[in-house]
Structure formats: structure tokens, C-alpha cells
A and B are shown apart, each in its own frame.
Chain A
Amino acid sequence: MLGIHEILETIKMIQEENLDIRTITMGISLRDCGDADAKTACRKIRDKIARYAGRLVTVGEEIAREYGIPIVNKRIAVTPIALVAESAATGDYVYFARTMDDAAAAVGVNFIGGYTALVHKGFTGGDLRLVESIPAALQETERVCASVNVATTKAGINMDAVALMGRIIKETAARTADQNGIGCAKLVVFANAPEDNPFMAGAFHGAGEPECVINVGVSGPGVVKRAVERLSPDADMGLLAEKIKKMAFKITRMGELVGREAARRLGVPFGIVDLSLAPTPAVGDSVAEILEAMGLDRCGGPGTTAALALLNDAVKKGGAMASAYVGGLSGAFIPVSEDAGMVRAVEAGALTIEKLEAMTAVCSVGLDMIVVPGDTPAETLAAIIADEAAIGVVNNKTTAVRVIPAPGKKPGDRVEFGGLLGGAPVMPVSRFSPAGFVRRGGRIPAPIQSLGN
């Protein structure tokens, strides 16, 4: 029989420490929706999304009520649209983005991911048309999220794609300048992108995935932070890791329960739980504050990378025990604008882009929700992407870049996006130009780590 203190612990985690299920994401294959006629293809897409995801929001709300755990987002991820749109005899891919937007609105989800191209080794005609249409697609839609995979450990880094993404990010910012370049908050550039990630903006339904699947992303930085704070300041690293593992286990079990229940009620297979610690701008729901609770004066100071490595590893060890299938990004996220502690660290001068880059070598996922000056050159953005991709490719891990060059903004200005996206100060970027390097183009060969057979 459950003890009263166990029951109270769970209630406290939910009510006071922001434990929630961050997202139930339904992955839907659109591979059977391709058609020579774009209108027919889009009708098939709309119908299929309505058919599979029609009850997603209702079921999510039912589960949240019955189990007493908030489920913050219900979302959809689809097959990379470049694969679906390619058979259509049209150059207007934005039409596909609008279709996704309408289909998502019709079933009541706030984001739909999969306006995506996988170009780590090169572009097909459809890939190029899709990537070039991203700025217009993000300008004209509200719910659509775009992602581009530019590198893998097996293929190396497609520097032509990296250079192009530098320009695409700039253009996306320019087209959404009236909202501080918010379009860029819905655009992720990946290395080693996972096919089953439930988190936006980088979610898509990979080619190896089944017809339809439910993936779940959990969240609980507040729970871990409180647990660390309750430890004695003299507790050593082993005790710290043990405590975090136990909390990660408990958090992940909730995700496993909700994911299985949602899959059962919707009649589709359960895919994975993504073991991520995903912060929100809410007070106390911060990954930076966990690191500070571990004994750092400020996140970003010396010791941050080591503390984050401990945290990230303990989250995975605890979480892996709690779920039959672990996948997605799985690790601690370190977005800036979505984490009040990260924002404070930037404002205090403790956290820089270079330190964040080092931190991404030991956690999930990359340079995330970082606002940079609006006049940052496209080549510099491309080189930042290349650096991040190199970390992912060489270390066999996923890395990503989601930067917002906020039009007209300078270092020290503050930019607000609202909601879960939060707001952040503009961070300075190195003024030394990488243009000569980026201009070379071609592909950085796959590293020796790729030769594992």
C-alpha cells in the first residue's frame, strides 16, 4: 500500500515544483500523401492529420484530469515535408506549410513539426526548394516548425547546407522583424537529428518510424532543483548523482505512464519517452538554477561544464531505468530565453555563447534560443552552426542551433517572445570573420569515429 508521504511527495512535485508532462507528440507518416498534384497531396495531408490526431487534444486533457498531472502541450510531428512535397510538380512549398498550419489548427494543437529537410550529404531538388521556402513558410504560418539536418557522424558536415542556413536564418529574422525575428525560434539546424524527438521546434517523424506513434517529453527541472537544495551543502558528488538519478526516475515514470495510456486510448503504438529536463520561464523551473544549487555562484562560471555533465548523466541513468523505450533528445536542455536562470546568468556577464558551446558537448542539445545582434553576418551564423555540428559529429551526439538574430537589436538590448519561448538579452558575438572558411563550401568528411564496422 502507498504511504501518505509518497502520495504527498507526488502532489508537491506537481503543485509546487512544476512537474509536468511537457508534450505528448503524435508522429504521423505522410509518406503515402505524395502526389504529382500539390493540391491533391495537401488534401491527403489534411485528411490524414485530421484522421489520426482528431482526438489527440481531448485524450491528453482526459489523462491530465484523471491522473492529476498537467500535460502542457499536445503536438504533431510529420514526415519531413521535403520527402512528401518532392513528387509534386510545384515550386510553391509554402502551400504545404499552410496546409500543415491549417491541419494543426483544425485539431487544436499549438505546434506541428516536420517542415524539414535532411541534407547532411547533399540536396535533392525537393530539399533545396523546401529549405529556400523556410523564411516565407515561417512568416506565413503560426504553428509550423522547421528543421534542417546538415550533418551526421556517418556523413560529415555539409558546409554548403551550413552556409545556406546562415542566410536562411537571416532572412527568416528579417521576414518576422516586427516580432523580433520570432520565426527563427521555430527553426532548428541539426547535426545527428533524432527521428523520434517529441520536442519542438525540432520534432519530425523520421523515415524509419511506423505509420503513427506517440512520443512523450517530460519536464522537471524544478523537482531536481528542490531535491538538490534539500541535500546538505557537504553532500559529495556521489550523493548528488544518486539524488538526481532517483528524481529523474520518478519524473520519467510519469512520462512512461502518460505515454502508454495516451497510446492505448488513441489506439496507436507507444514510441519513446524523451528523458529531457526541459526548463520553462516559470520561477524555479530552471536548469541553470540546478547547477547553482550544486554550488556554483552563477551558471556559466568555472565548473559549469562539469556540473552539467554530472547532471546530464544522472538524468539519463535514472530515466533509463524508468522507461522501456528511451529516445529523442534525452538530456538536460540549456535554452537561454526559456530559462530564467540562464537569462540572469547572461545579464550578470557569467554566461557567454562560447561557454554555452562548451556546455553543449556534455548535454542535450545545443545553442538554443540564443538572441544575437541583428547585424550578425550570415557567414558568422553559419560558422556557429558548423562549430556546433562539429561537436555533435565528432562526439556521436545530437547538437543543434536555434539562434535569433533580432533585427535592429544590439548587445544588451532585451527581446521578448512571450509564452514558453520567454525573453532574453541580446548576447554579443565574436566580431572576427569566418567568411573565408565558410565560403569554401563542400563537405567536411565524416570523422574516423564513423568507421565503426
Chain B
Amino acid sequence: MERSQRIIVTVLGHDRVGIIAGVAGVLAENNVNILDISQTILQEFLVMIMIADISGSSVDLGSLKTRLAEKGRELGVQIDAQHEDAFVYMHRV
């Protein structure tokens, strides 16, 4: 199996100023490169998805998840990060 080094960052919650900046800040601090951002509003909730490359990351995925979750608490939104394969495997043959 080819090992991808990409993660999917998901942000769910009420929209407010500074969400993208906050998440991007955490990623930049840990040398994670953002490849793509898309967002939509679903039943009044902001849903933002970032695809990012962790091959140059200064921390492992577990620690990155913890830092993102902390930032999420600060911003009042839910932030998670998962390995991209969890989605690719399910939706691509």
C-alpha cells in the first residue's frame, strides 16, 4: 500500500472571525503545509475541510491532533485531523 502523508483537517461549528487564521496558525507552527481549503455552511454550521501535507511536520499526527483540539476549544469549534487514507479508501476504488 502506498503511504500518503496527507491529512484531512475538519472544522465544525458556528462561524466567527478568525477560524481559518487560527487553524492555519497551528498548522504553520508545526510546519504542516496546507494544500487545499474548502468550506460550506450546513444547517447554519460552518464546515471547513483542509487537506494538508505532514511530511515535513515537526510533530506526529497524535500531537498535532491535540494542538488542533486545543485551538478548537479556544475558538469554540470542533477541530479534528485524520489521515487522508481513511477517506480515500472508503470513497475511491
Using A65-B61, A253-B89 as known contacts, say yes or no to A4 and B83 having CB atoms under 8 A apart.
no
> Does A6 lie within 8 Å of B91, measured CB to CB?
yes
Interface string of B1-29 (1 = CB under 8 A from A): 10000001010000000000000000000
The answer on a CB contact under 8 Å between A68 and B86 is yes
Known: A66-B62, A67-B82. A6 touches B87 (CB 8 A): yes
Interface string of A1-22 (1 = CB under 8 A from B): 1101011111100000000000
Interface residues of B in 56-93 (CB under 8 A from A): 61-62, 65, 80-93
Pair A1/B89 contact, Cβ less than 8 Å: no
Are the C-beta atoms of B90 and A250 separated by less than 8 Å? yes
Q: A254 contacts which chain B residues (CB < 8 A)? A: 86, 89-90
Nearest B residue (CB) for A264 = B1
Q: Contacts of B61 on A, CB cut-off 8 Å?
A: 65-66
Q: If the complex has contacts A2-B8, A2-B88, A6-B91, are A67 and B83 also in contact, measured as CB distance less than 8 A?
A: yes
Q: Is the CB of B91 within 8 A of A260?
A: no
Whole-angstrom distance from the CB of A268 to the nearest CB of chain B? 15
A62 at the interface (CB under 8 A from B): yes
Q: Are B47 and A4 in contact (CB under 8 A)?
A: yes
* Complex Cα–Cα for A260 and B87 (A): 15
CA distance A264 to B3 in the complex (A): 11
Instruction: Known A4-B40, A62-B62, A66-B62; judge A10-B51 contact (CB<8 A).
Output: no
Q: Does A148 contact B (CB under 8 A)?
A: no
With a cutoff of 8 Å between Cβ atoms, the chain A residues found around residue B83 in the complex are 66-68
Which of B40, B42, B85 is within 8 Å of A67, CB to CB? B85
Find A2's partner among B40, B42, B87 (CB 8 Å cutoff): B87
Are the CB atoms of B38 and A4 closer together than 8 Å? yes
With A1-B36, A7-B10, A260-B1 as given contacts, are A68 and B82 in contact (CB-CB < 8 Å)?
yes
What's the Cα separation between A254 and B91 when bound, in Å? 10
Once A66-B61, A66-B62 are accepted as A-B contacts, the answer to whether A7 and B89 lie under 8 Å apart by CB is no
8 CB < 8 A contacts A-B: A4-B40, A8-B42, A65-B62, A253-B90, A254-B90, A257-B89, A260-B1, A261-B1
- Tell me whether B49 is interfacial, beta carbon within 8 Å: yes
> A7 and B8 in contact (CB under 8 A), knowing A68-B80, A254-B86?
yes
- Residues of A with C-beta under 8 A to B80: 11, 68
Chain A residues near B8: list those with CB within 8 A: 2, 7
Task: Assess whether A250 is in contact with B91, with CB atoms less than 8 Å apart.
Answer: yes
Main secondary structure, interface of A, reads helix
A67 / chain B contacts, CB cutoff of 8 Å:
82-83, 85-86
CB neighbours of B86 from chain A (8 A): 10, 67-69, 254, 257
Residues of A within 8 A of B1 (CB): 260-261, 264
Interface flag for A256 (CB, 8 Å): yes
- In the complex, which residue of chain A has the Cβ closest to the Cβ of B92? A2
A9 to B1, CA, bound (A): 24
Contact yes or no, B90 A1, CB < 8 A: no
Which residue from chain B places its CB closest to the CB of A68 in the assembled complex? B82
**Contact assessment for B62 and A4 in the assembled complex, using a CB-CB cutoff below 8 Å:** no
Q: How far is the CA of A1 from the CA of B36 in the complex (A)?
A: 9
Q: How far is the CA of A443 from the CA of B8 in the complex (A)?
A: 58
Query: Hey, what's the 0/1 contact readout for A138-151 against B, CB within 8 Å counting as 1?
Result: 00000000000000
Across-interface contacts of B65 in A (CB, < 8 A): 65
**Cβ-defined contact, B36 with A10, below 8 A:** no
Q: How far is the CB of A69 from chain B (nearest CB, A)?
A: 6
Enumerate chain B residues within 8 angstroms of A250, measured Cβ to Cβ: 90-91
> Quick check: A66 and B82 within 8 Å, CB to CB?
yes
Q: B40 contacts which chain A residues (CB < 8 A)?
A: 4
Contact B62 A10 (CB under 8 A): no
Residue in chain A with minimal CB distance to B6: A2
Query: A10: which B residues are within 8 A, CB to CB?
Result: 86-87, 90-91
Chain A residues near B47 (CB, 8 Å)? 4, 8
Q: Beyond the given A66-B62, A68-B81, A261-B1, could you list 20 further A-B residue pairs with CB under 8 A, ordered by the A residue number?
A: A1-B51, A2-B51, A2-B84, A2-B87, A7-B8, A7-B49, A10-B87, A10-B91, A11-B10, A65-B65, A66-B61, A66-B82, A67-B85, A67-B86, A250-B91, A254-B86, A254-B90, A257-B89, A260-B1, A321-B93
A311 to B92, CA, bound (A): 23
- Chain A positions within 8 Å of B10 at CB level: 7, 11
Tell me the bound Cα distance from A68 to B87 in angstroms.
10
Chain A 394-422: CB-based contact to B (< 8 A → 1; otherwise 0): 00000000000000000000000000000
- Nearest-neighbor residue (CB-CB) of A257 within chain B: B89
Q: Are A257 and B85 in contact (CB under 8 A)?
A: yes
